[in-house]
Amino acid sequence: MSPNRPPVRVAVLGTGKVAQVVHLPILNRMRGVELAAVVDTDRTKARTIAGRFGVAAPRTQDEIWKDESIQAVVICTPSHLHEEHVVEALQAGKYVLCEKPLALTAEGVERILAVDGADGRLQVAMNQRFRPDAAALKAFVSGGELGEVFYLKAGWLNRGVGRARRSWRQRRAQGGGALMDLGVQMLDLALWLLDYPEAERVTAHTHRGSGSEVEDSAALMLRLKDDRLIGMEVTSNLLAERDRQFLHLMGSEGSGSLSPLAVYKEMESGLVDVTPALPPGRENIFTASYRQELQYFVEVVRGERKAALPREHVSLMRIVAAAYRSAEERCEVTL
């Protein structure tokens, strides 16, 4: 970026964990970016966090929408507020990066996509796509090097989150539950690796913890219209020594896995390990993914990249809704 070019001024809405651990510290240190405002309905919390990152004072949403010097907004509010906040931000002429899900329903996503200016100014924070190992695996899949990928299994198993203090994540109407919270990310990663083929039907099972209104665990099998399969399991209450996240895919000429990244191909000489050596980094792959995601967003705001309208999020949320229906009715659901 030119040294004479003014910085991109970004506001962050919501001061929950993902904002405090990821978005705020990364934006605060990013070259060519000015963290212009922190917004939260809890003004005391917002004031404390704004001070921590050198932002003069918390602002209200209306002030952000009216401030023409703020070009971009990162939305980290509870899931049920995303649709409202994204629409308001777009109507105010802001570039928007919204944490997943974009809306709680496919219909809500469609309403957002119809807002004037959404195309080119809207991104969904699917940081898993920006992982260095995921990008390397996608190159093998998209290039056809593993042949026809016919089965993919993914999972995200977190320890004890279900036993944490109660919040919106434990309320169905506000977007809580393991399938909505963790499953949305893993389903998107799996479908993205396969270039988002059309889904045909889904079977899902959920487990609701004692005294909870949402599931703490879910498993599903998704059949695609080209007869490929995606299996997925997620939990926010794993009773184990550490969290686990994984993805395995099987192709007619090879296989691939995350994490760690492993890629094998069948060649004339036999099975060969073709796992690429990723450049060493000073941070873990998840922090790196958020940094790459935010860098991409800033480059879109500067006009250096073009953000594609996230139409695939409509399909994603239709699958999630069908999975919940399958679990509730104990049957396979056709999409």
What's 262's domain CATH number? Answer: 3.30.360.10
**Is beta strand 215-224 parallel, antiparallel or unpaired with respect to 244-251?**
unpaired
Q: What is the pLDDT of residue 166?
A: 66
108 in the same domain as 135: no
Q: pTM of the full predicted structure?
A: 0.93
Q: Please check whether residues 76 and 91 belong to one and the same domain.
A: yes
Q: Are residues 141 and 240 in the same domain?
A: yes
**Going by C-beta distance under 8 Å and a sequence separation of 6 or more, which residues neighbour residue 257?**
246, 247, 248, 249, 263
Average pLDDT for residues 74-81, to the nearest whole number?
A: 96
Cβ-contact 281, 271 below 8 angstroms: no
Q: Which residue, chain included where needed, has tokens 């895919």?
A: 249
Do residues 152 and 33 both lie within one domain? no
Q: What is the extent of the structural domain holding 37?
A: 8-125
Q: Is the pLDDT of residue 6 over 70?
A: yes
Domain at 107, CATH number: 3.40.50.720
Looking at the chain, which runs of residues are DSSP E strands? 8-13, 33-39, 72-75, 95-99, 122-125, 149-159, 199-208, 215-224, 229-238, 244-251, 254-258, 262-267, 270-273, 333-334
Q: Residue 256 domain-assigned? A: yes
What are the C-alpha distances in Å from 118 to residues 27, 73, 220, 247?
A: 23, 13, 32, 32
Strand partners, 251: 149
Query: What's the pLDDT at 162?
Result: 44
From 78, 100, 125, the end of a domain falls on 125
Mean pLDDT on 39-61? 88
Residues 157 and 25 in one domain: no
Is 285 inside a domain boundary? no
Q: Is the residue at 295 inside a domain?
A: no
For the segment 84-94, what is each residue's pLDDT rounded down to a tens digit? 999 999 999 99
pLDDT greater than 90 at residue 102: yes
Same domain, 273 and 180: yes
Report yes or no on 303 lying in a domain: no
- Asked if the structure places residue 80 within a domain, the reply is yes
The string of pLDDT tens digits covering residues 314-334 is 999 999 999 999 999 999 999
Q: Say whether both 58 and 183 belong to one domain.
A: no
Number of domains in the chain: 2
Q: Quick one: 182 and 239 in the same domain?
A: yes
Question: Do 140 and 113 lie in a common domain?
Answer: no
- For 195-240, the pLDDT digits (tens) are 999 999 999 999 997 778 899 999 999 999 999 999 999 999 999 9
Give Dmax (Cα) for the chain: 65
User: What is the pLDDT, as a whole number, of residue 165?
Assistant: 57
2 occurs within a structural domain:
no
Are residues 51 and 160 part of one domain? no
Structure tokens at 105: 């329903």
137: which 2 tokens? Answer: 């695996």
| Range with the poorest average pLDDT among 34-38, 146-150, 158-162, 300-304 | 158-162
Do the bridges between strand 270-273 and strand 262-267 make them parallel or antiparallel, or are there none, so unpaired?
antiparallel
> Based on the domain organization, do 154 and 251 belong to the same domain?
yes
Contacts of 314 (CB under 8 A, 6+ apart): 106, 109, 110, 113
In a domain, 73, yes or no: yes
- Percent of the residues in the chain that have a pLDDT greater than 70, as a whole number: 96
User: Is 75 part of a structural domain of the chain?
Assistant: yes
Task: Mark whether 192 and 254 lie in a shared domain.
Answer: yes
Residue after which a domain boundary falls, among 90, 125, 160: 125
Domain boundary among 87, 110, 125: 125
Which residues partner with 215 through β-bridges? 208
